[in-house]
């Protein structure tokens, strides 16, 4: 069974990766929210790791960033201690 803390680490790393990709593309949170038809606050919560996003929302965000959805998952989760 996966511990909650591991799930939270994954959510945090997903958010950090989303922010990194967005910033590399020089897109503001506001612009991403507009392109993805999401609320600005949702983008912020996902990037901060306080919101676990759905598969369909992840796909929508990837399309808004003009990337393949798998790129949003290209990160490492720290090893459990």
Please give the chain's pLDDT, 81 residues, in tens: 555 576 899 999 999 999 999 999 999 999 999 999 999 999 999 999 999 999 999 999 999 999 999 999 999 987 766
Is 77 inside any structural domain?
Answer: no
Is 72 inside any structural domain?
Answer: no
Give the residue numbers spanning the domain of 59.
4-67
Instruction: Provide the 3-class DSSP secondary structure of residue 75.
Output: coil
Is 79 inside any structural domain?
Answer: no
Q: From CA 59, how far away is CA 69, in angstroms rounded? A: 6
Rg, Å, the chain Cα set: 12
Is 19 inside any structural domain?
Answer: yes
pLDDT of residue 78: 76
pLDDT of residue 5: 73
Is 60 inside any structural domain?
Answer: yes
In this prediction the pTM is: 0.89
């Amino acid at each position: 069974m996966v511990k909650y803390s591991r799930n939270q680490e994954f959510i945090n790393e997903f958010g950090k990766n989303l922010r990194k990709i967005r910033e590399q593309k020089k897109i503001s949170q506001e612009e991403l929210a507009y392109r993805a038809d999401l609320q600005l606050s949702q983008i912020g919560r996902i990037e901060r790791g306080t919101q676990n996003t759905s598969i369909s929302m992840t796909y929508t965000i990837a399309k808004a960033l003009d990337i393949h959805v798998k790129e949003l998952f290209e990160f490492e989760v720290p090893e459990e201690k």
